[in-house]
Chains A and B, each alone.
Chain A
Amino acid sequence: MKTISANKITKIVAELCIRANLVLRKDVLSLLHNAYLKEKNSRAKKILQAIIENAKIARKEKLAICQDTGLPCVLVEIGNAIKINGDLRAAINKGIESGYKKGYLRNSVIINPLLRGKPKYSPGVIHFDFVKGNKLKLTVLPKGFGCENKAQLRMFRPTAEINEIKKFILEAVKSAGPDACPPYVVGVGIGGTADYACFLAKKALLREIGRKGQSPSGTVPSELKGDLGIVLGLERELLYEINKLNIGPMGLSGKATALAVNVETFPTHIAGLPVAVNICCHALRSATATL
């Protein structure tokens, strides 16, 4: 049994909040660079350059990448050989509060969604998962609401064709249009229940983007078979189709409408096929630590 103190968790969560909001993920920055190099539309190129410059300034001057420092979403993977000394949830929320204050991030959390009132720093939305081993993995994903507002869920019939699902995802991107800071990263969750599909779509944003096997060729390679093959093929086809929409950076046309599509799946019920889409702006921010 390994014991971890609540204080340590608070400290780590605070650091993750700051890092996620100030330092753009390497994979995101790298795909932004690629998009910049590939872009032919001069305005789109100029906007992508501003986005990359923004990330540099944020990192160098310790400014938030975006003023919307998000609703802090925290994923906690707890090993079965871990003992936590103290209140884990309280420790995480304390960490959010301290990190957001220390990093001069924005207080965007409304305690009562109906009464509204002055924004606070916490609580975050926390997901707990139990895994094997003696590690504790903490991930902070500050999710901006310009793009969170564009999330969609549809409960398909189990006999739905893949093309119907693709159409739904494409329509979700189209309806986000210029509003949610394209180029987007599109998270898709397929399977589980209504709520779990939404969680998977969000979780998909945490997977490294632009992984090998994902290129906008628009075809499913024959060597890819089985579940992973279907998922990879779907990711490729969707990315290809989305980037034909010509929404482009800031919605002012261009090739780069999405940087990546990440699909996550989970077993589901014989009577259903839930599909959720979680769109993320180009400032896809997250940071992880393993204790």
Chain B
Amino acid sequence: MKIIKIPLRKEEVQELKAGDEILLSGIIYTARDQAHKRLAITIQQRKHLPLDLKGIIIYYCGPAKTPKGKIIGSCGPTTSSRMDKFTPLLLNSGVKGMIGKGARSKEVIAAIKKHKAVYFLAYSGCGALLSKYIKKATVFAYKDLGPEAIHKLEVKDFPLIVGIDSHGRSVYKN
């Protein structure tokens, strides 16, 4: 089991192989459908982004409400392929890693290879379990989107599987 800290180091990312299991620690940002759409439009219009995308890891997640006394509610990954149409643009803007569930398009795999980025899988449908690895959670941007807002999460030993590595190899057979 590899232990990886954010920010990701270039050499470290290149050593990761599809199928590797890792434990990730550091800051990640959630973004799903509507946040992706907004980020993409902002980039296309060359306007000011609410966060610096350089080197960050995006988690495709819309958490449940936070119960009293908890850091965060259930917070597992959502289906990554819905973000495929925005991903090459975000990778081009500096995003280094993504966390989600399921397969990605050919275009996304090519963009991951081009930008030497990485796509991780989180245990899908295990949002209660995964909430235990989150040490801090705040709404960071697009608050009006509710659960689809960008949340800043501090994770500790977040268990992940490398889905697509920086060489474009995928853990899925097809």
Q: Which residues of A are interface residues toward B (Cβ below 8 A)?
A: 47, 50-51, 53-55, 57-58, 61-69, 101, 104-108, 116, 118-119, 146, 149, 177-181, 250-253, 281-283
Q: How far apart sit A105 and B148, CA to CA, in the bound complex (Å)?
A: 14
Within 8 A of A (CB), among B131-156: 131-132, 144-148
Please indicate the chain A residues that have their CB under 8 angstroms from the CB of B127 in the complex: 54, 63-68
Contact of A149 among B61, B62, B79 (CB under 8 A): B79
Please indicate the chain A residues that have their CB under 8 angstroms from the CB of B166 in the complex: none
Contact with A along B51-88 (1 / 0, CB 8 A): 00000000001111111001001111011110000000
Shortest B79–chain A CB gap in Å is: 5
B103 contacts partner chain A, Cβ-Cβ < 8 Å: yes
Q: How far apart sit A53 and B159, CA to CA, in the bound complex (Å)?
A: 14
Q: Flag if B125 contacts A282 (CB, 8 Å).
A: yes
Please indicate the chain B residues that have their CB under 8 angstroms from the CB of A63 in the complex: 64, 67, 70, 73-74, 127-128, 131
Please indicate the chain A residues that have their CB under 8 angstroms from the CB of B64 in the complex: 63-64, 67, 69, 104-106
B50 contacts partner chain A, Cβ-Cβ < 8 Å: no
Q: Flag if B34 contacts A65 (CB, 8 Å).
A: no
> How many A-B residue pairs lie within 8 Å, measured between CB atoms?
131
Q: Flag if A250 contacts B75 (CB, 8 Å).
A: no
Shortest B37–chain A CB gap in Å is: 9
Secondary structure call for the B interface: loop
Shortest B172–chain A CB gap in Å is: 6
Q: How far apart sit A54 and B171, CA to CA, in the bound complex (Å)?
A: 23
Contact with A along B1-39 (1 / 0, CB 8 A): 000000000000000000000000000000000100000
Chain B residue with minimal CB distance to A69? B64
Q: Which residues of B are interface residues toward A (Cβ below 8 A)?
A: 34, 61-67, 70, 73-76, 78-81, 101-103, 121, 123-129, 131-132, 144-148, 161, 171-174
Contact of B172 among A53, A67, A108, A251 (CB under 8 A): A251
Q: Flag if A54 contacts B103 (CB, 8 Å).
A: no
11 A–B pairs (Cβ distance < 8 Å), ordered by A: A50-B123, A63-B127, A65-B74, A66-B126, A67-B63, A106-B64, A108-B147, A119-B146, A177-B102, A250-B123, A253-B173
Contact of B125 among A62, A66, A105 (CB under 8 A): A66
Q: How far apart sit A153 and B166, CA to CA, in the bound complex (Å)?
A: 38
Please indicate the chain A residues that have their CB under 8 angstroms from the CB of B123 in the complex: 47, 50-51, 54, 250
Chain B residue with minimal CB distance to A246? B173
Chain A residue with minimal CB distance to B131? A63
9 closest Cβ pairs, A-B complex: A179-B102, A104-B65, A64-B74, A58-B128, A54-B126, A54-B129, A63-B128, A181-B125, A67-B127
Shortest B90–chain A CB gap in Å is: 20
Please indicate the chain A residues that have their CB under 8 angstroms from the CB of B148 in the complex: 119
Q: Flag if B144 contacts A51 (CB, 8 Å).
A: no
Q: How far apart sit A237 and B117, CA to CA, in the bound complex (Å)?
A: 42
Q: Flag if A68 contacts B146 (CB, 8 Å).
A: no
Q: Flag if B128 contacts A65 (CB, 8 Å).
A: yes
Which of A63, A69, A108 is packed against the most chain B CB atoms within 10 Å?
A: A63
Q: A64-B74, A65-B74, A251-B103 are in contact. Are A106 and B147 (CB under 8 A)?
A: yes
Please indicate the chain A residues that have their CB under 8 angstroms from the CB of B63 in the complex: 67, 106
Please indicate the chain A residues that have their CB under 8 angstroms from the CB of B102 in the complex: 177-180, 251
Contact of A281 among B66, B125, B161 (CB under 8 A): B125
